[in-house]
Chains A and B, each alone.
Chain A
């Protein structure tokens, strides 16, 4: 299907089903139960899942295939966001021109940074990208304040020109982002007994874009170009000796992954028309590295899983405060309740970073292949012998 082999088609369909049914899958608990705290099926978070999924997929094309560890990818995300918001200010509230421009601009940006940074490899490359990203952050944060509005963040206003019309909505307020009239904010609530599911237009737009991005990533992974990138990862010197110049390939991979980041940034601004400098900070760049490694670098689905896991922790765990904890453990005797809450307190609420850190360490130590490896191990344990047979079969196939 679509030029993919069976295994990849299955994966693509699986991802498609998961993303399209996400409003159900992420809201497993009735909305009035105590466990509703863990529901993640609200538009903002679902949008974040897929947007950061796109970001991580793009990052994985560079890191997973070529092994070049960029510590400055958030810069492209930020550039994408700023370009998109400027399109909303100048052209119209349609998200299409905004997204296209954000991909183009971040691609150009990646071309410049990549051209310079890729003169070095290994740790020097990482440091160079980090330096460029911090430079962009500093520029956005204070120097380029007229373009970026500094710390306050770039927002759309009533008196923006928007030359393609729609400067002011019918009711005199700031218009909302749309795709040919389909408002990104519009949502449809469906109540089924005690459950409630929200279908948001913005989420489905993001989800479809992510599926396209995912499909493209599979094609890149399976293409001769992808093979060349893997060759760079395994032994660049050998490639040089065989007379191949790896530089154009790495630069292409860098630009492609920068464009993915720009796409994510543009989508982010389309869902919520605001761009802030903190999106470009080195912590944001580090986050996508964490996502990719947590999910499984070099695998197709890994980065998406990693992005989902981190965003879930950030948005759900950080919301659990002491009050909620006391509510959960109210059944325990007083002294014990306080003790349990005291133990859990550092791990939830603003301490969610600590929980994330522990999980990350456990994954890196025990599952070097990330969550994907965990899934594979579980699958193997369940299937047992059968899986072994098929794998044997696969290895005995003759080489082409």
Chain B
């Protein structure tokens, strides 16, 4: 290293370096584009941001499978899946607007920070035009906010909090999945028939936006039919052992335990509850019951025997017999050898809905896509006739109430559909108090 650091030397080398940096600008002009990451080549990049580690890793893995399947179908591979049954026929298997669909993946780690970093690198480095994914409402809300700022579309994956399309709704964000309010509206009548109107409920709730809003919804709906809420205990999302939360339940005077948990959390808390003998317990002269308001087949598999007879709600189940569901289960099963979960279904549908909206709008511009999706009515995607409501970018469709099967015939046949609650019964006003306090704002095309 030279020791001759003089003022002149510094100035000289500074000038040379400066000229070197400035030189390339002579040859180029910054390319102006109408919106963030406008695809100019022969392909278009979508960003799939799912949890590959953490309590929702199972769901994340299944979501990724669904995304890969959707990309295959969009590019004309496979058997086309739900593209054949989808009521809109704009997609033709040549990618989106003739551009081949590419994708990048990232790990949200079920943490808002990591998810945003991952989504940012997709937008800034890989040029993703649309981000999709989730599996935690906290993450979905955080990433949706980021996409709004950056000017790309966010197609929410599995996120069930009221806030995603309520308090934290954004113009660039869309949700196909149902929410806590809908679960409560669908579950309440079924619970009334099964367990009566004189019950005392004890809630264990995952301590973040989804848990809070689902607990609020379930408590409101059950109290309206005469139940009493004895207690609500918040549990950390990262918890893996719930015995200390389950232990006080027996002596609390409650006769129903509501587990506002999802994924690995629910598998662990339900297992703990069964270990503590709550399933066979008697309280207030009635059988003690456990309710899991949001359910999935992956969770049922994780919980094994314990899930039998437990009631909950779900967005979709592979045993549905409509054309769309059958087509999707068939192509997913052919590719991976087992049926898809509800997380896989909603992610697959979201990808197709985005592609279709771009195709119909004739542009990748986020504002054009927003316009094409708002108020869009469609069918053939496994949930019956569905509406993407313009006021809050939430899909309205039928909700399934399911029960853990007593005698499963295979390791996938774990849930039976108890009731299909029609969309009209779970629809609410956009300014419902549980969803108030936010604003869509205006669509942001970025750049």
Binding site for B on A (CB under 8 A): 1, 6, 9-10, 13, 17, 21, 24, 39, 42-45, 48, 141-142, 145, 150-153, 155, 157-159, 171-174, 176, 185, 188-192, 198, 272, 274, 276, 278-279, 315, 318-319, 321, 349-350
Contact = CB atoms under 8 A, between A and B. Distances in A.
Interface string B23-67: 011011011000000000000000000001100000000000000
B117 A315 contact: yes
A42 B124 contact: yes
A198 B117 CA distance: 17
A272 B116 contact: yes
Contacts, number: 127
B231 interface: no
A185 B3 CA distance: 40
B112 A10 contact: no
Nearest to A172: B442
A269 to B, nearest CB: 11
Contacts of B168: 155, 157
Contacts of A278: 111-114
Interface in B116-150: 116-117, 120-121, 124-125, 137-138, 141-142, 145-146, 148-150
Nearest to A278: B111
B237 A321 contact: no
A9 B442 CA distance: 50
Given A153-B113, A172-B441, A276-B142, 18 more contacts: A13-B5, A13-B10, A21-B21, A43-B124, A45-B125, A145-B207, A151-B138, A151-B208, A152-B112, A152-B137, A152-B163, A153-B138, A153-B142, A155-B145, A173-B148, A173-B149, A276-B111, A319-B105
Given A191-B31, A274-B142, A150 B24 contact: no
Contact of B121 (A17, A42, A173): A42
Contacts of B117: 44, 48, 315
Q: Which of B21, B113, B163, B237 has most A Cβ within 10 Å?
A: B113
Interface in B410-444: 437-439, 441-442, 444
Given A42-B121, A190-B24, A191-B31, A171 B444 contact: yes
Nearest to A45: B121
B281 interface: no
Contacts of B236: 141-142, 151
A279 B27 CA distance: 43
B104 interface: yes
Nearest to A27: B125
A13 B17 CA distance: 12
A157 B438 contact: yes
B107 A274 contact: no
22 contacts: A1-B10, A39-B125, A44-B124, A141-B236, A150-B208, A151-B207, A152-B112, A152-B141, A153-B142, A155-B145, A157-B438, A159-B437, A172-B441, A173-B442, A174-B149, A174-B441, A185-B150, A190-B24, A190-B28, A190-B30, A191-B28, A198-B124
B265 to A, nearest CB: 12
Interface of B: 1, 3, 5, 10, 17, 21, 24-25, 27-28, 30-31, 52-53, 104-107, 111-114, 116-117, 120-121, 124-125, 137-138, 141-142, 145-146, 148-150, 163, 168, 171, 207-209, 234, 236-237, 437-439, 441-442, 444
A153 B138 CA distance: 8
A176 B444 CA distance: 12
Contacts of B442: 171-173
A-B residue pairs, 7 tightest by C-beta: A151-B208, A44-B120, A42-B125, A42-B124, A153-B112, A192-B24, A152-B138
B104 A192 contact: no
A173 B116 contact: no
B210 to A, nearest CB: 9
A174 to B, nearest CB: 7
Nearest to A14: B1
A318 B107 contact: yes
A84 B30 CA distance: 33
B52 A350 contact: yes
Contacts of B1: 10
A185 B149 CA distance: 9
Contact of B444 (A150, A173, A274): A173
A39 to B, nearest CB: 7
Nearest to B137: A152
B441 A173 contact: yes
Contacts of A174: 145, 148-149, 441
A319 B126 CA distance: 11
A279 B113 contact: yes
B208 A17 contact: no
